[in-house]
């Protein structure tokens, strides 16, 4: 996506949610606290107006931020994005429903202990070895590229840099109501989803699209979860900019 951002003269900022990468953990915090930190970062960098893009599990943060920042957002985009668990539970795969139901019932301190043990015992290499055969051909193909695979591996290592903190933040954010009303999002909004996505079914984007009256949805019959942003990056950014311009 970076090379296309250069083509469109876009400056890309990728804020880590609490506990991921270099972002400090915030025990007990949720998306409201994340948005407050994002607002401080935007002020520090003197950024007044901007695009917001949520990819996969980053979608709740992007949509919640769009609702908060209002007309400061030039356009909002969701790439293979997660739908609200509390409203769209039936669209989640059975294994995800079971896991999220458990996360919702488990006190955060205990969830941190359980997740920390998981992070300690599981290695990214073994995770990818298990994951890739379960994906559809488009995703398997892009993950055969050494550069793409190395980037994914690096992101998985970085996500675990501070142990379980980021994962727990996400789990608790996902299973609780998001601090936004989807029908109150007023900025231009575009959604993209691969119909061969077995990680997050495209029904999630269809649901969110139905909740935001002015949104625009584009489905790709031959793309999956990982292949979509890699193979269609230029098209996605072009769509996003056109949406901001009202076309």
CA-CA distance, 195 to 29, in Å (whole number)? 34
User: If 0-12 CB within 10 Å is exposed, 13-18 middle and 19+ buried, where does residue 96 land?
Assistant: middle
How would you list the strands of the sheet with 73-79, edge to edge? 50-55, 73-79, 189-194, 216-220
Asked whether the predicted pLDDT for residue 100 surpasses 90, the reply is yes
Kindly state the percentage of the chain with pLDDT values over 90.
Answer: 68
**What's residue 24's pLDDT?**
86
Residue 6, token pair as written in the block: 């250069």
Asked whether the predicted pLDDT for residue 246 surpasses 80, the reply is no
* 170 closest CA partner among 79, 37, 23, 58: 58
Architecture of domain 2-244: 3-Layer(aba) Sandwich (3.40)
Residue 55 pairs in a beta bridge with: 79
Global pTM value:
0.93
CA-CA distance, 208 to 76, in Å (whole number)? 13
Kindly state the percentage of the chain with pLDDT values over 70.
Answer: 99
* Domain segments of the chain as ranges: 2-244
Residue 155's CB: how many other CB atoms inside 10 A? 13
**What's residue 156's pLDDT?**
85
Question: Which residue do the tokens 């994002």 mark?
Answer: 38
Give the tens place of pLDDT for each residue, 107-137.
999 998 989 888 887 787 888 888 899 999 9
């Amino acid at each position: 996506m970076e090379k296309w951002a250069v083509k469109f003269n876009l400056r890309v900022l990728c804020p880590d949610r609490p506990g991921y990468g270099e972002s400090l953990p915030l025990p007990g915090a949720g998306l409201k606290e994340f948005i407050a930190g994002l607002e401080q970062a935007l002020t520090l960098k003197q950024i007044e107006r901007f695009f917001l893009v949520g990819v996969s599990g980053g979608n709740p943060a992007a949509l919640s931020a769009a609702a908060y920042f209002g007309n400061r957002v030039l356009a909002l985009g969701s790439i293979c994005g997660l739908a609200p668990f509390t409203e769209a539970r039936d669209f989640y795969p059975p294994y995800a429903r079971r896991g999220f139901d458990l996360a919702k019932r488990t006190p955060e301190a205990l969830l941190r202990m359980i997740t920390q043990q998981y992070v300690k015992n599981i290695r990214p290499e073994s995770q990818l070895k298990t994951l890739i055969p379960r994906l559809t051909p488009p995703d398997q193909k892009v993950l055969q590229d050494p550069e793409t695979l190395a980037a994914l591996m690096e992101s998985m290592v970085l996500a675990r840099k501070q142990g379980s903190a980021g994962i727990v933040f996400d789990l608790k954010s996902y299973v609780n109501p998001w601090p936004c009303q989807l029908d109150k999002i007023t900025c231009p909004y575009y959604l993209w989803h691969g119909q061969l996505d077995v990680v997050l079914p495209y029904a999630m984007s269809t649901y969110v699209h139905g909740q935001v009256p002015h949104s625009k949805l584009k489905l790709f019959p031959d793309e999956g979860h990982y292949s979509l942003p890699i193979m269609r990056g230029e098209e996605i950014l072009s769509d996003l900019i056109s949406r901001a311009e009202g076309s």
